Structures are given as C-alpha cells and as structure tokens.
Amino acid sequence: MDGYEEKKWFVYLGDHHEGPFSLGEIQAKMNEGLVTPSSYVWAEGMSDWKLMPQVPAFEGLLQGGYSPALQAFPEVPVAMATEPAAVPEPVLEEPVTLETVRPQSVQLTASRPELDPAPRVTEEDLRGTRRDEYSEASEAKPRGPLLGRLFKLLLLLGILGGAGVGAIGVFSPELLPEPVRGPAQAAVTAARALFSPLPSLEDVAPEDFEELKAAAGAKLDKDGPRIAVALSTADLLSPAFYVATNLPDGTVIDLYVEGVTETLLNQLAYSSRVRAVVAGRLAKTPALKFAENKSLPRGQYELYAIEGEEQPEEVKSILASLPPASFPKAPAAMPKNFKLAATKGYFLGGAKDGTYTARLKEFHDKLREKATRELVEIKQFHGTLEATMNAGLSDFNLISRMKAAAIRQKKWEEHHQKWQGFATQMNDIFGKWTPAVLESEFFYGSLYSMIQQAFQGVEQLHNLHHSYFTASVDAKAFEIQAGQVAATASAALANLKAKIEQAEKIPPAPNGMPRRDGL
C-alpha cells in the first residue's frame, strides 16, 4: 500500500496529540490497545481532526488489509520539514462523558499475522541439540502469551508477598520485549489500582491525576489537610472538575472559576462558582455552562478551590486550627476567611490554535474601537447630568425668590415636568444596564455604573427642591440639607470626570487590548 511507512499522521490520545506516525506504527499501537477506531487522526492538508473510520487512508488498516508482511516495496519515509506543521485540536461533535467512555468495548478490526504454533521441545531433542541451536529455536518461539502470563503470575506473587507496592512503583513495562509489553502494562495498571486512594479517572491528565492521588493519600494526622483540583477532559466546551482531599466524607468544596480577561474570545469577563461534596476522598463539580447553556468562551481560566462555608462538625474541628490561606489575586466574590486552598490554570472552551489567535486579535481590534466610543458616550452623559444639576440649582434659586405664590408655583411646575421627562428617559436607559450587562457587554462597565450613581445624586437634589414647593419645610433645616445633597451630587460628577480622564491615559496592553486598570 502506498504511504504505509510515511510518517505524517497525528493521533489524539486522551488530552494531547502525538506523532507524526506511519500507518505501520499506528497499526502497532492498535495492536497494543493504545489506539482504537474511535481515535481522532489528522495529517497536513486536512481541515480538521476526523475519526479514523472517516479517513479513506485507514480503510485497509481497519479491515485488516494492512500488514508489514504484505508490504513488499515500502516507500522511503518523507523527511519532515524543519518546522512541523501546526496541528489543530479536534472539535468533538458530541461531548464525551465518563458514562459513555467506560462501558464501551471497542473491537479492533486490524489484524496481526497468525503465527504457527512452535513444536514442543522434548528432553530427547535437547540432548541431540547444541546449546546455540537450542537458543535460536527458543528465539523463534512466540513468547507473548507465555511471558505475559508469567509476568502476571510473578507480579501477583510479589503483591501477595508484601513486595508488590515497591515493585509496582519502580517497574516499567517499557523495559520488556514488545510481545509482552501490552499485557505487562495492563497488569501494572490493574495492580496500581489496588493501592491507589482514588478510582481510575480516564478523563484526567496523568500529571493531574498524580496530584489528586497525592492529596487524597496524604495522612491527615501527619501531613495535615490537603486539597487538589483537576480538569475533566471529557468536554472542554462545558467542563467539569475533580477535587480530591484527605478530609472526611461530606466535606464541601467551592470552586471559583475566573476567566483571564485579555485571553477570552468575544467576551470581556467570566466568573462562576460551582460546589462539590466529597465522597471517598473525591468530588466532581457540575459542568460549567455559559449564558443560555452556551459553551465557555475560549481562553485561559484560573481555578480556585477552597472549603465551603458550611461544613460538617468534624471538618470544622479539623480546619479550626489551621492558619488563614490566601491567593495573591483571588476573585472578588471569593470569601477571605478560607483555610484550605488549591489553584490551577487551564485553557478552556476549545483549542488554543492559530484560528483562536487570529480571532482574538480581531476581537481586540474591535474592542479598542468600542472602548473609544464608550468614552465619548460617557463624557456626554457626564456633561448632560452636570448641566441638568446646574440648571436645577439655578431655577430653584430663581423661582424660590419669587414673591407671587401663584407665579412661583406655576414656574416650578413647569420645571418639574421637564425634569420628569428627563428622568423617565434616563431610567429607561438604566433599566437595561443590569449588573450582568455592565460586566459582560460594556468595556467601561464601572464608569457606566458611576453614571447611574451620579444621576441618583442629581435626582435626590431635585426631589428635595420639589418638596420645598409641595410640603411644609423648615427653611433653616432645608438649607443645610440642600447643601449636603448638592455637595454629594457634585462629588459623584467630579469622581466620574476624574475616572474618564484616567481611562483616556491608560495605554493598551502589548496584545492590543485596551485596559481599564484601576477603574
């Protein structure tokens, strides 16, 4: 078959890709059980990752037609370029969960050549055979099943004899010959599971799983309370997380997830909290969802795992003697009095590839234009509120000094009707500025919030002036109160103006994204 030995195929294994491999190498990995027909593959020239059965080049491999013995004239492997082509991450059409992964039993259709059973060697044969001839005959004998069973037997004996833990920890199946490497690996995996404080988690990266095991296996009386957090790779678009600890069952863990603003695609911010309850030293959070069940925006996220405020009495007594913990940049919504903490960073929402980089730059360019427009609009709001307050003060001073009560009342009513029209327009606008909208859809959401506060000060001043004409007031007390309210409204407008000037002076980040530091 053409291209059987060409190293151009990448295979996605667990949470990462490996390669390039030739078809022959992939067939060997299938024989070892490391690659299955449900694996995703990619080669340069393909638009995206595909399942192996969807790629014509693997048709013969999956039907058992490929075999090194049938390859009479293999091609010379093509030399790789000096810079390997960028490999895109696969986009899974359907989320893969633990429930769908574990029960499946995939039957490999790729076949290996059948070997004729070796003849049995008798004592008479040995007496008539030279030592070197016997060695050659032994090398030709298929050793996989025999040595595989022998290895499992020895390993089991070691475990039963008390030496299993140490042997398993240091033994590497990669040191064995190819025919017994697969069975040896399976035996080691099964044996290690007997001594692991956690069940096997197929959707967790190996290094993360080791951290989970270390936290769950720590001695509470010797090492103190431990906690670790890890990402479930089953669905990166709506991810869930594992938390492991050596604290008792029932321990409540809160996980705060904070998006790194300058890395989020088409989104200014993301912040969420999920809760998990420990059972058997392990807990799993619900899947994170964006608004309206959408997937998370692509970008970098920081995870902060701490103990929940409500805990069983046993857990409370364990944590009571611990000193307070802290994070340098903890989310604002996170409590400050926690004592157990773990943090981790992950890229979520999709692949961190060239498409993401290009789209992020485009988003930042548009965001810079949006920030400029928002500052212009904020200035207009500030100017309108300032002019309205000054006009209200001027009209009040003028109308309150009129001697004719009827004329004074009429003039103030005209002023009040104008104010009501203005206030209705402003409140209609503010009704759309919910806290969630200000955080997610406005770059300078904090400044828009200051506009609302400034308006409230101006409105309070107008309502106080209106009471002067519609109710009985003490002139001296009214004058003091009016001065205080006017000063509060003026301070809110002055603070908004100072923030506008500060925003105009903040340079953009190196990646082009506008910044709002200190606002």
Helix/strand/coil (H/E/C) assignment for every residue in 324-341: CCCCCCCCCCCCCCCCCE
Place of tokens 């004329």: 407
Proportion of the chain above pLDDT 70, given as a percent: 73
pLDDT of residue 436: 85
66: tokens are 């490929």
What average pLDDT does the segment 293-312 reach? 89
What average pLDDT does the segment 309-326 reach? 89
pLDDT of residue 295: 78
Distance CA 431, CA 115 (A): 78
| Domain spans, the chain | 9-101, 123-195, 206-352, 355-505
Crossing angle for the helix pair 445-470 and 405-430, to the nearest 10 degrees? 160
Place of tokens 């364990």: 318
pLDDT of residue 28: 85
Q: Could you tell me the strand order of the sheet in which 282-284 lies? A: 227-231, 241-245, 282-284
Element (H or E) spanning 17, and its range?
Answer: strand 16-21
Q: What is the dihedral of CA 201, 207, 174, 151, to 10 degrees?
A: -40
Average pLDDT for the chain: 77
Distance CA 140, CA 118 (A): 8
For 42-57, what is each residue's pLDDT tens digit?
888 887 778 888 888 8
Q: What is the CATH number of domain 206-352?
A: 2.60.40.10
Name which of 14, 18, 347, 39 is nearest 204 in CA terms: 14
Name which of 197, 198, 173 is nearest 185 in CA terms: 173
For 360-374, what is each residue's pLDDT tens digit?
999 998 998 999 999
Residue 164: how many other CB atoms lie within 10 Å: 19
For 147-163, what is each residue's pLDDT tens digit?
445 444 444 444 444 34
Pick the residue with more confidence: 141 or 261? Answer: 261
Distance CA 60, CA 219 (A): 53
Judged by average pLDDT, the poorest of 16-25, 235-244, 473-482 is 16-25
pLDDT exceeds 60 at position 266: yes
Q: What is the dihedral of CA 90, 96, 100, 103, to 10 degrees?
A: 50
Q: Distance of CA 250 to CAs 74, 230, 271, 421, Å?
A: 61, 19, 25, 57
pLDDT of residue 257: 94
> What number of CA atoms fall less than 13 Å from residue 469's CA on the CB side?
25
Who's near 515: CB < 8 A, 6+ residues apart? Answer: 506, 507, 508, 509
